[in-house]
Structure 1
Amino acid sequence: MQHPLESARTLEIQAIDLEGQTLRVGIRHGSSDHPPLVIFNGIGANLELLAPFIDELQDVSVIIFDVPGVGGSPAPQLPYRFSTLATLTDKLLSRLGFDGPVDALGVSWGGALAQQFAQMHPVRCRRLVLAATSPGVIMVPSKLSVFAQLMVPRRYSDPAYLAEIGGDIYGGAYRRNPELLEEHRRHIQAPKGHGYFYQLLAMWGWSSLPWLRTLPQTTLVIHGDDDPIVPLINAEILAARIRHATLHVIDDGHLFLVSRAKEVAVTVHSFLCGDLVEPEIQMEDRSLEYEAQ
């Protein structure tokens, strides 16, 4: 059943069964002139949270789904790895009739899944957008206080707790505008069963650093300059290690896809449609500079 959010009006919601795992999937049909965009959401995040950003993507077709154990997707019986979800995504696209190449966008935890999908399915994945994410466990970590608050999903079920810690963990506009936190609270759904902890386990021991240079996709790395969860230097590492990548820094925090949806959607749309300058030369000197440090 579709979540009663006005901002999700452009998404067609359906339940898809894939080998015993039901996924709640949102589809926004756009122009056939561009490959569809698959969006991988952050930890514990149901698909409605990115509806404002999706609404701003103009004519791009979008596929987004609740990860097992999140939103409307039931939790699986056993934990999973990112490789499992990458394979599940490929099967989902085929089931939905998307047999050609797609673009992928991953946010935070979903950015790790997007990297895994791009690595396992280089023909399927044409372009890659990595937002507010890192190369995995081998990263420059957040402050211990922020890390501890992320280890439990309490912010999804306790409105008072979210109001207390939201500005400190999300940063940027969420520090300055309490109304954003209230809007965020109205849109979230508490993770189901062990879903949140399965997402944490998927991240355990995972790192893309050994194979980042093998990614063939032209990649846009977007990051906020006030991100307490994933410090900006992690985006710089991604952009330096991926061969065909460019870095775009936003004056905001971890949830800039929501707080600055329209501005970021314009940048992403331009990148996906090939209107931005190709990043190979732009990032070459920066990569060498980073390695020399």
Structure 2
Amino acid sequence: MTLTPTRLGSLHVRTLGSGPPALLWHSLFVDSTTWARVENRLAQSRTLLLVDGPCHGGNPPPTRRFTLDDCVGVAEDVLDHLGIDEPVDWLGNAWGGHVGILFAAAHPRRCRTLAAVGAPIPALTPAERRRVRSLTVLYLLVGARPIRSLLVDVLLGPDARAADPAGAALVGDAFRRARRTDMLHAVSALSLARPNLTPVLATIETPTLLTTGPADPMWTVADAKTAAHRLRNGSLVLLPAAGHVGPLIRAPELLADLVTAFWRDPAATLETFGGAAFEGRDPGTEH
């Protein structure tokens, strides 16, 4: 892992595998270690650029306050610094999906495919904003330890700590690595201030997969279907894992199968899997 200069300061970027480039950007609250259960499989067909986003993963503090649009610029900086001018396959989880949507819309020639895993498109509802603000105050007062379990439940599902303690620890440890002031900055800029991205979807030319699960209350199947219908060239796939980060940790084989098929033949994958759920496997056994 190396420190890569960007407009928001240096970021840790790890390179793995061989083949055409794929940029992986993680969810808010965690870091690139949450790709651990899928990265080796994905690296068999791509050179993975695993980015630790601003304010996460032990990165130096950002040089200024920032927005999602600034994160798009950071991705440009990473690719330029690494000398990558060919289109990349973008794989984003939650926050990473939001950045990917804006990146694909702004730079269609630099984005070959876009997969946004567990990335709600609308802005937070008033009730969700209240919950986030309450947790932010608690985090400010007492730090990461008291809310770590609650965060794991939200990101992986309420049964994850008992059913998959190693996966829960992976998420909890990633959260603890960030500095408190940086995380508070990120929550304000990237969650509370996140715009409604619905209008952006119709402008994307890139082949696009959106995913959610039936047990993700912040990204319901109904809302995800509505969003997917706005895509010019995309589909929705349902994955059987709770929470935004759940597919990476609780259903890694299914997610890797989906992503590698999409990278191999985007058009065929959109036609085959669009709107359908992967079935027949217990995500709790895939680790």
TM class, shorter-length: 0.7 to 0.9
Tell me the equivalent position of 2:21.
36
State the TM-score, normalizing by the size of structure 2: 0.80
Tell me the equivalent position of 1:127.
113
State the TM-score, normalizing by the size of structure 1: 0.79
Task: Please give the residue correspondences for 1:136-285 in structure 2 after superposition, counting only pairs within 5 Å.
Answer: 136-137=122-123, 147=132, 151=136, 154=139, 158-159=144-145, 161-163=147-149, 166-167=152-153, 170-171=156-157, 174=160, 177=163, 179=165, 180-203=167-190, 204-254=193-243, 255-274=246-265, 277=268, 279=270
1:23 to 11, 31, 34: 11
Structure 1 residue 52 corresponds to structure 2 residue 40:
no
**Contact 2:33–2:170 at 8 Å: present in 1 too?**
no
Task: Please give the residue correspondences for 1:6-17 in structure 2 after superposition, counting only pairs within 5 Å.
Answer: 13-17=1-5
Q: In 2, distance between residues paired with 1:30 and 1:111?
A: 23
Cα gap change, 1:40/1:199 in structure 2, threshold over 3 Å: closer, same or farther? same
Cα gap change, 1:224/1:199 in structure 2, threshold over 3 Å: closer, same or farther? same
Aligned residues: 268
Deviation at 1:51, TM superposition (A): 2.0
Tell me the equivalent position of 1:99.
85
Q: In 1, distance between residues paired with 2:95 and 2:129?
A: 18
Q: What amino acid sits opposite 1:258 in the alignment?
A: I
Q: What amino acid sits opposite 1:23 in the alignment?
A: L
Cα gap change, 1:128/1:178 in structure 2, threshold over 3 Å: closer, same or farther? closer
- State the identity %: 21
Q: What amino acid sits opposite 2:257 in the alignment?
A: V
Unaligned runs of 5+ in 2: 276-287
What is the Cα-based RMSD across aligned positions, in Å?
3.1
**Contact 2:8–2:74 at 8 Å: present in 1 too?**
no
Deviation at 1:158, TM superposition (A): 4.0
Deviation at 1:183, TM superposition (A): 4.2
Q: What amino acid sits opposite 2:196 in the alignment?
A: S
User: What secondary structure is seen at the aligned counterpart in 2 of 1:63?
Assistant: strand
